[in-house]
Amino acid sequence: MKQNIFFKKGAEAELVEEIVEGDTPGSEKKLLSKKRIPKSYRNPLLDLLIRKARTRSEAKLLREVSSAVNVPEIKKVDENKAEILMEFIEGKRLKEVIEKKPALAEEAGKMIKKIHALGIIHGDLTTSNMLFVDEKQFKSDKEMLKRIKQKGNLFFIDFGLGYYSKKVEDRATDLVVFKKTFNATHSSMKNGWKLVMKGYKPDEELLTRMEAIEKRARYH
């Protein structure tokens, strides 16, 4: 018996929580459906092509980035519906816990560097697009405990704006966007961004490019 529960609606996609039968009789498990919303201002055929391409791209990014960091596991991709069906992660947004667990800022920096090392740009780095998963909640889930042990407590979500690039400019832009939202959201957190950078360990070239991007933003 499948049950759908509306979860969230954004500018690009609608998220619906699906409760389906589990692997054992009588058990249930949660999945998350991400379906891209048709845009009425676009030609219907073009709109479908765009939504299909973005769905395909996001699914590919999620699969590839899973080799380095934790992300929701994809269960099914339906390009005609512009839908990705994935594992529902039972965690808290990093935004909600980071000020009590500042070490997670450094951990986030380490994980972002791993994503960039794959030649992947997230495109929308915020502490709302990272989930903290506490292993204490999963004492009986050996698979989840294994994932946490291997790749840490943070899960990255929403690669809808992600793309492939190894350019210093694109990595720097990804970090500058994150810095802006991080400092605005966690202004009361002492040395928060420094901890992110401590984890990332940017080289001089990347730091210089970040400074240049920030200067451009200030003067335009």
- What are the b/e assignments for 66-89, b being 16+ CB within 10 Å? bebbbbbebeebeeeebbbbbbbb
| 2/213 Cα distance (integer angstroms) | 48
Distance CA 61, CA 164 (A): 8
Active site (catalytic) residues: 124
Residue 151: C-alpha distances to residues 130, 147, 194, 218 (Å): 13, 6, 22, 37
d(CA 208, CA 115): 20
Chain mean position to CA 178: 12
- What residue type is assigned to position 111 of the chain? M
